[in-house]
């Protein structure tokens, strides 16, 4: 039982660190959705939107609207934690992703 709990805690910590834990204080990326994605999302969703731990996003715009994507960023989904990106940055990333249709 203790081993299971320890593994769960370590796994959760890893997931949180991998999915947005690498937030940068580099303000040069503020508002640049592609840089924000690479800093906060690419570990789980892949550097080229191909998917990894999380689902592929290279065609997400044909499945979800900007508003739907923004809601997922804000609230999380499945093992994705909520609020990885916030405010105007979340809106910019959601808009950028909503334009992805089999590029």
- Residue 17 sits in a domain of what CATH number? 1.10.760.10
pLDDT band per the 50, 70, 90 thresholds, residue 22: very low
Q: What are phi and psi of 29, to 5 degrees?
A: -90, -10
33-56 pLDDT, tens digit per residue, is: 999 999 999 999 999 999 999 999
**Quick check: is 69 in a domain?**
yes
pLDDT band per the 50, 70, 90 thresholds, residue 6: very low
Q: pTM of the prediction? A: 0.72
**Quick check: is 83 in a domain?**
yes
**Quick check: is 78 in a domain?**
yes
Domain that holds residue 42: 2-22+29-98
**Quick check: is 50 in a domain?**
yes
Q: What are phi and psi of 19, to 5 degrees?
A: -100, 75
Which among 103, 69, 84, 98 has a CA at the least distance from the CA of 38? 84
Determine what percent of the chain falls in helix, strand and coil, rounding each to the nearest 5.
Answer: 55, 0, 45
**Quick check: is 103 in a domain?**
no
What's the CA gap between 50 and 98, in Å, rounded?
A: 15
What sign has the CA pseudo-torsion 95, 57, 99, 59?
negative
**Quick check: is 91 in a domain?**
yes
Supply 39's token pair. 């800093």
**Quick check: is 80 in a domain?**
yes
**Quick check: is 59 in a domain?**
yes
Q: Do 34 and 96 form a contact (C-beta atoms < 8 A)? A: yes
- Number of structural domains (the chain) is 1
Give residue 45's pLDDT: 97
């Amino acid at each position: 039982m203790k081993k299971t709990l320890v593994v769960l805690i370590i796994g959760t910590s890893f997931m949180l660190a991998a999915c947005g834990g690498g937030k940068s204080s580099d303000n040069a990326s503020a508002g640049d959705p592609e840089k924000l994605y690479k800093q906060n999302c690419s570990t789980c969703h892949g550097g080229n939107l191909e998917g990894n731990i999380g689902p592929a996003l290279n065609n997400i715009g044909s499945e979800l609207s900007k508003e739907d994507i923004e809601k997922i960023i804000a609230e999380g989904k499945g093992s994705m934690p909520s609020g990885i990106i916030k405010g105007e940055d979340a809106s910019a990333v959601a808009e950028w992703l909503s334009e992805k249709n089999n590029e």
